[in-house]
Amino acid sequence: MNRPSAFTAPGRFWRGNLHTHSTRSDGVLEPAEVCRRYRAEGYDFLALTDHFIGMYGYPLVDTVPFRDAGFTTILGAELHSGAMSNGELWHILAVGLPVGFAPSDSPDFHTRPGMETGPEIAARAVAAGAFVAIAHPQWSGLTLADARSIASAHAVEIYNHGCANGCDRPDGFGIADLLLTEGRKLSLIATDDAHFFEPDHFGGWVMVKAEANEPGALLAALKRGDFYSSQGPELRDVRLEGDRVVVESSAVASVVAMGQGTGAKGVHGHSMTRTEVPLQRMDDSPWLRVSVIDAAGKRAWSNPIWR
């Protein structure tokens, strides 16, 4: 029987947002107020990830003062360096960066000759201890070749709430599924990318399984893939049993299992909390993932199961 590690790891689930901006870059709220709002909305942790470029002073914002007994923060940034295939600057999410992480030569949002490449700055962030994700592939206009080049990434941002509301380009599943089919062992994150100048907040998050709501424990769990992503529904268990996947969840209207290529199967109903999805169309897929959809259209997504 196979299960995503979120449902076998010790501890409990903690709700957090991994992609957020403040007045230290192009957001409209001070860091303290950003943290206050996430704490007030019931989040357990937050990564403030302001744009790590020269025009903002290469900010790696100290959010330690905003922690309390029920809320913690992980230091991070959105890194920018080098050109994607479309000639625009890379956006790479790095959560868990150490204080003093050296900036690239990225004075603004424009590319320039001799810059550190996207793959290079991503690899350097991973070497420094960060959890690294390929940010908003659809919004960025990312090609598969671009995504392949970030070989050190832990994850793909598969849902970006800011991109959903700001430009209707929230998706990262197209890129993620192709990379999974090529054998990349990646996890899948949903985020807000909140700036607070439009309804870009409290719409996508990760539920991380860890033994403590503490930065080191959360960061280690993220790297192991001990989490799932959600817009609202809860995943309580996902497991392969023979020729089917069994999904236990909060009440949902649809459960869909997906694999490589066209392999997919959905089961639909009312207030489903334990659902069995047959996998005959996915017999040859080396990986599977699950989506659940509630009656309001909100989704939750498992990380891939590797067979």
CA distances from 143 to 175, 185, 227, 234, 245 (A): 8, 19, 26, 32, 31
User: Are 134 and 157 within 8 A, CB to CB?
Assistant: yes
Which residue carries 């268990």 as its tokens? Answer: 237
CB 287 within 8 A of CB 306: yes
CA distances from 264 to 74, 175, 253, 281 (A): 36, 17, 17, 6
Provide the token pair at 63.
């959010």
pLDDT of residue 84: 98
Dist CA 18 CA 257 (whole Å): 25
Whether 35 and 116 map to the same domain: the answer is: yes
Residues 217 and 247 in one domain: no
Could you tell me the two tokens for 91?
């956006």
Domain end position, chosen among 168, 198, 230:
230
Q: Considering only the C-alpha atoms of the chain, give the largest distance between any 2 of them, rounded to a whole number of Å.
A: 57
Q: Is 93 helix (H, G, I), strand (E, B) or coil?
A: strand
- pLDDT given at position 1: 54
Are 185 and 156 contacting, i.e. CB atoms less than 8 angstroms apart?
Answer: no
| Pair (89, 193) in one structural domain | yes
Note whether 221 and 282 are same-domain residues. no
pTM, full prediction = 0.97
Query: 244 and 184: one domain?
Result: no
Do residues 28 and 82 both lie within one domain? yes
172 and 54 assigned to the same domain: yes
- 256 vs 265: CA distance, rounded Å: 6
Sign of CA dihedral 33, 38, 41, 45: negative
Quote the pLDDT of residue 72: 98
Cα–Cα distance between 94 and 60 in angstroms, integer? 11
Closest CA to 226 of 202, 243, 250, 209: 209
Regarding whether 222 and 108 lie in a shared domain, the answer is yes
Q: Are residues 118 and 264 located together in one domain of the fold?
A: no
Nearest CA among 206, 112, 197 for reference residue 159: 206
Q: Which residues form the domain of 201?
A: 5-230
pLDDT by residue for the chain (307 residues), tens digit each? 589 999 999 999 999 999 999 999 999 999 999 999 999 999 999 999 999 999 999 999 999 999 999 999 999 999 999 999 999 999 999 999 999 999 999 999 999 999 999 999 999 999 999 999 999 999 999 999 999 999 999 999 999 999 999 999 999 999 999 999 999 999 999 999 999 999 999 999 999 999 999 999 999 999 999 999 999 999 999 999 999 999 999 999 999 999 999 999 999 999 999 999 999 989 999 999 999 999 999 999 999 999 8
DSSP string over 114-147: TPPPHHHHHHHHHHTT-EEEE--HHHHT--HHHH
Confidence at residue 75, expressed as pLDDT on a 0 to 100 scale? 98
Contacts of 127 (CB under 8 A, 6+ apart): none
Name the E strands within the chain.
Answer: 12-17, 45-48, 51-52, 72-79, 92-95, 131-134, 155-160, 187-191, 205-210, 227-230, 235-241, 244-258, 264-278, 287-293, 299-301, 305-306
Q: Which of 230, 261, 288 is the last residue of a domain?
A: 230
Residue 11: exposure state from Cβ atoms within 10 A (0-12, 13-18, ≥19): middle
Domain check: are 105 and 185 in the same one?
yes
- Domain boundary (180, 202, 230) is at 230
CATH number at residue 289: 2.60.40
**CATH label of the domain that carries residue 134:** 3.20.20.140
Q: 48 and 165 in one domain? A: yes
Q: How many domains does the chain have?
A: 2
Assess whether 160 and 206 both reside in one domain.
yes
